[in-house]
């Protein structure tokens, strides 16, 4: 290519990379985006979006099976896994095309290939094993993401032992399944396959499922899922997987005792590792942190002059919205925009799209106490909310944690229908440094699920009306 010098070069077109490239172009910076596989990255193509499409099918199927509770009739309810997968892939394809349109609209130069830092503001781009161009820029943003982690003896083979990628495109629903790991990915796939008839067991090394969540909330979610038929083994390690033609036998260990379980398929969902190999970090002088992620400051600068890192490659939490927000901070700082400030990770909401949904922002009750706060805690159950009962969704709870001294909202935690949509209300509240008084004086519409947010705040101060 003839024009190889840019104001900003972004490597990786995931939710961090493409957002950063678009914002840079909006700010008048000549921008290139280097991507070897697919626009939108793992999130859009093999993660956040296609899983939600699958889970939507599961949600509708579950409602159809219980149609009589709503005075409706649906005979011979069935599903077609091939069509479910086809819809999911179609959703991803549509959105990937949309990202391409946005990049073109904003005049971002998209280059198909793998980017590798050479140092001194240079980046080589290769395809099919051959370097075809070298780009230069004073600002190079690495947004190379992460991939599924594996452990010795538990490595995925794509046939009997799956990562999220194989789990997204099944040709049939296995009769039995073992899910290793109870984070968001593991729990979501466990719920999907269970809904369509698989006998699912989830194994978690720690003592609680969804261990980043408030223990009271994750405990309620676990109880609800167990009532539906999912099985959980917490405080348990998977020591080995023995594969045979008719399935996989897993050896589990808890408290020094072992047992075996035989299943058709295994999904490994034990976290991610950053894509830091073969991207020229050493050549550019980019240092990693103690966990192997690229070390950055509050404005996403690495140890190398003119090199930045955003998203999963730069560390936890490995969430799409965190990557996008880091992208904006990074690019606006490069462009010299006023008012740019580092990302406060305590303001990042987390969502798990299981049944029931789980969502949170800020400190858990336990973490707040460990941090030295004297807390006031409010709780409000879904069964006390008119809209929840009308929807046929009476299971769940909204929990709020406040600093008793100042009234600051320290954290909010939810389990139940549509809480992944509700949580942003508390996200805004925390960003605005809202106190209990502000929330109490906020008018919430009726009838809505959001009224439970208000009631939970009231409950923390002994003022709840409807429970």
Binding residues for NAD(+) are: 181-188, 204, 271
Contact 250, 260 (CB under 8 A): yes
Within a 10 A sphere around the Cβ of 342, how many other Cβ atoms? 13
Phi-psi group of 3: left, alpha or beta (phi > 0 → left; psi -120 to 50 → alpha; rest → beta): beta
- Please provide residue 174's backbone torsions phi and psi, each rounded to the nearest 5 degrees: -65, 155
SS (H, E, C) the chain: CCCCEECEEEECCCCCHHHHHHHHHHCCCCEEEEECCCCCHHHHHHCHHHHHHHHHHHHHHHHHHCHHHHCCCCCCCCCCHHHHHHHHHHHHHHHHHHHHHHHHHCCCEEEECEEEEEECCEEEEEECCEEEEEEEECCEEECCCEEECCCCCCCCCCCCEECHHHHCCCCCCCCEEEEECCCHHHHHHHHHHHHCCCEEEEEECCCCCCCCCCHHHHHHHHHHHHHHCCEEEECCEEEEEEEECCEEEEEEEECCEEEEEEECEEEECCCEEECCCCCCHHHHCCCECCCCCECCCCCCECCCCCEEECHHHHCCCCCHHHHHHHHHHHHHHHCCCCCCCCCCHHHCCEEECCCCCEEEEECCHHHHHHCCCCEEEEEEEHHHCHHHHHHCCCCCEEEEEEECCCCEEEEEEEECCCHHHHHHHHHHHHHCCCEHHHHHCCCCCCCCCCHHHHHHHHHHCCCCCCC
Contact 406, 433 (CB under 8 A): no
Crossing angle between the packed helical segments 451-460 and 419-431, to the nearest 10 degrees: 50
Tokens of residue 142, six digits: 């690495």
| Binding residue ranges for FAD | 52, 115, 312
Tokens of residue 440, six digits: 């109490």
Which residues are known to be catalytic?
446
| Binding residue ranges | 52, 115, 181-188, 204, 271, 312
Contact 6, 135 (CB under 8 A): yes
Contact 31, 7 (CB under 8 A): yes
């Amino acid at each position: 290519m003839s024009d190889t010098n840019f104001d900003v070069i972004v490597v990786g077109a995931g939710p961090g990379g493409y957002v950063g490239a678009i914002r840079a172009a909006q700010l008048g910076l000549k921008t290139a985006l280097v991507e070897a596989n697919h626009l939108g990255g793992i999130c859009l193509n093999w993660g956040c979006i296609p899983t939600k499409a699958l889970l939507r099918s599961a949600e509708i199927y579950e409602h159809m099976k219980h149609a009589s509770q709503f005075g409706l009739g649906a005979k011979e309810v069935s599903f077609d896994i091939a069509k479910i997968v086809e819809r999911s892939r179609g959703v991803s394809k549509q959105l990937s095309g949309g990202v391409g349109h946005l990049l073109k609209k904003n005049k971002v130069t998209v280059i198909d290939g793998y980017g590798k830092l050479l140092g001194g503001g240079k980046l080589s781009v290769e395809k099919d094993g051959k370097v075809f161009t070298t780009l230069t820029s004073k600002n190079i943003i690495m947004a190379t993401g992460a991939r599924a982690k594996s452990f010795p003896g538990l490595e995925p083979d794509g046939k009997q032992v799956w990562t999220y990628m194989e789990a997204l495109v099944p040709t049939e629903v296995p009769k039995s399944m073992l899910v290793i790991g109870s984070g968001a990915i593991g729990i979501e796939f466990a719920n999907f396959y269970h809904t369509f008839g698989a006998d699912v067991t989830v194994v978690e090394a720690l003592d609680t499922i969804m261990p980043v969540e408030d223990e009271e909330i994750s405990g309620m979610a676990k109880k609800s899922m167990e009532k539906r038929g999912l099985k959980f083994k917490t405080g348990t390690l998977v020591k080995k997987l023995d594969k045979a033609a008719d399935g996989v036998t897993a050896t589990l260990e808890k408290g020094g005792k072992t047992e075996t379980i035989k299943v058709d398929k295994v999904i490994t969902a034990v976290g991610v590792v950053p894509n830091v190999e073969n991207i020229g970090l050493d050549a550019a002088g980019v240092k990693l942190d103690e966990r192997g992620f690229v070390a950055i400051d509050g404005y996403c600068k690495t140890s190398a002059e003119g090199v930045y890192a955003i998203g999963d490659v730069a560390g936890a939490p490995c969430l799409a919205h965190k990557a996008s927000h880091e992208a904006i901070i990074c690019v606006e700082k490069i462009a010299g925009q006023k008012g740019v400030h580092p990302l406060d990770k305590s303001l990042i909401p987390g969502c798990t799209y299981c049944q029931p949904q789980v969502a949170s922002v800020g400190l858990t009750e336990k973490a707040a106490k460990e941090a030295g706060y004297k807390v006031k805690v409010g709780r409000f159950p879904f069964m006390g909310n008119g809209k929840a009962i009308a929807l046929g969704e009476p299971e769940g709870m909204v929990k709020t944690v406040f600093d008793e001294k100042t009234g600051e909202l320290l954290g909010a935690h939810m389990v139940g229908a549509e809480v992944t949509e509700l949580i942003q209300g508390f996200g805004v509240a925390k960003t605005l440094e809202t106190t209990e008084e502000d929330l109490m004086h906020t008018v919430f519409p009726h009838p809505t699920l959001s009224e439970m947010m208000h009631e939970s705040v009231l409950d923390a101060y002994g003022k709840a009306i409807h429970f």
